[in-house]
């Protein structure tokens, strides 16, 4: 068997606002049994806790190495692929995968050297919309539609299992992908903030709520997976649109202000 550790080194399991420490321990065990090891805890409600250690059943090394961060944005800032596990099929503006369908893109991103995150929500409330908005894809385990919510650690187990089986079935290299890796989640968030401001500046919304259009635009750009260079071009266009809007709104001004966002360097 070829080693799964190269994939494991790039893959983090992120548990968001977990309330039951037992689930953290059981998730650590689930991860460890499938040959993975990286756990990130976003604002856990009770941790460390003896219950977590008990449920880890010997997978203590995963718990000991777990990283604790205050919010999801911090947990995934350096990732180029972020998948949110959701118990509900919702009208989220995200491409939806089954765990099996998720395997190929996860492996491709990891094989190209990118960091990948699988994100799991709180036991009661799942992932909030603003947390899902940080994800590039949604993973839904096709459970019974009228009772589709698995226990958190069991959901972790299913995704980890699919990744392992996908690997064992085909340990050779995943399909080739674009030469330049997609921009990181942190850079994408910076772009989305810039886009939102620029749309305001050019009065795109005309009094309508920006929420829906921003979700649609997020889906479009996350699907396109622009690389860093492409993102700089887009930001250059936004900066120019903002500059023109300022000029149009201030008669008598003829020159751009120094210190404007750079034009993208292209």
Site for ligand SAH, rule CB under 6 A: 85-88, 120-121, 123-124, 126-127, 139-141, 143, 148-150, 152, 155
Which is closer to ligand SAH, CB of 118 or CB of 198? 118
Which is closer to ligand SAH, CB of 141 or CB of 239? 141
Identify the sign of the CA torsion 90, 72, 185, 179: negative
Place of tokens 């079935």: 169
Q: How many CB atoms lie within 10 A of CB 107?
A: 22
End-to-end CA distance of the chain: 46
Least separation in angstroms between CB 142 and ligand SAH: 7
Which is closer to ligand SAH, CB of 156 or CB of 198? 156
Which is closer to ligand SAH, CB of 88 or CB of 223? 88
Least separation in angstroms between CB 136 and ligand SAH: 15
Least separation in angstroms between CB 106 and ligand SAH: 15
Which is closer to ligand SAH, CB of 38 or CB of 140? 140
Which is closer to ligand SAH, CB of 52 or CB of 239? 52
Least separation in angstroms between CB 144 and ligand SAH: 9
Least separation in angstroms between CB 23 and ligand SAH: 8
Spatial separation of the C-alpha atoms in residues 204 and 112, rounded to whole Å: 38
Phi, psi at 244, each rounded to 5°:
-65, -40
| Alpha-carbon distances of 218 from 139, 154, 227, rounded to whole Å | 17, 30, 15
Give me the helices (H) in the chain, please. Answer: 5-10, 21-33, 50-56, 60-64, 72-76, 99-111, 129-132, 152-169, 185-201, 211-224, 228-249
Least separation in angstroms between CB 97 and ligand SAH: 10
**Closest C-alpha among 183, 196, 190, 209 to residue 242:** 196
Task: Output the six-digit token pair for 241.
Answer: 């649109």
The residue nearest ligand SAH at its CB is 126
């Amino acid at each position: 068997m070829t080693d799964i550790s190269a994939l494991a080194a790039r893959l983090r399991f992120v548990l968001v606002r977990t309330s039951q420490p037992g689930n953290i321990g059981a998730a650590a065990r689930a991860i460890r049994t499938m040959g993975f090891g990286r756990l990130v805890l976003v604002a856990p409600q009770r941790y460390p806790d003896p219950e977590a250690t008990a449920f880890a059943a010997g997978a203590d090394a995963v718990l000991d190495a777990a990283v604790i961060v205050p919010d999801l944005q911090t947990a995934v800032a350096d990732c180029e692929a972020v998948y949110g596990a959701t118990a509900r099929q919702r009208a989220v503006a995200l491409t939806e995968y089954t765990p099996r369908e998720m395997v190929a893109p996860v492996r491709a991103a990891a094989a190209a050297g990118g960091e990948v995150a699988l994100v799991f929500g709180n036991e009661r409330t799942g992932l909030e919309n603003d947390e899902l908005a940080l994800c590039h894809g949604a993973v839904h385990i096709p459970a019974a539609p009228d009772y589709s919510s698995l226990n958190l650690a069991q959901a972790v187990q299913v995704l980890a299992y699919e990744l392992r089986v996908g690997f064992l079935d085909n340990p050779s290299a995943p399909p080739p992908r674009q030469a330049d890796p997609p921009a990181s989640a942190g850079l994408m968030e910076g772009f989305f903030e810039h886009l939102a401001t620029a749309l305001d500046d050019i009065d795109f919304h005309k009094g309508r709520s920006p929420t829906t259009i921003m979700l649609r635009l997020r889906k479009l750009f996350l699907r396109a997976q622009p690389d860093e260079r492409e993102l700089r071009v887009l930001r250059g266009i936004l900066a120019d649109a903002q500059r023109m809007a300022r000029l149009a709104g201030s008669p008598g001004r003829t020159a751009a202000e120094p210190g404007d966002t750079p034009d993208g360097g292209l």
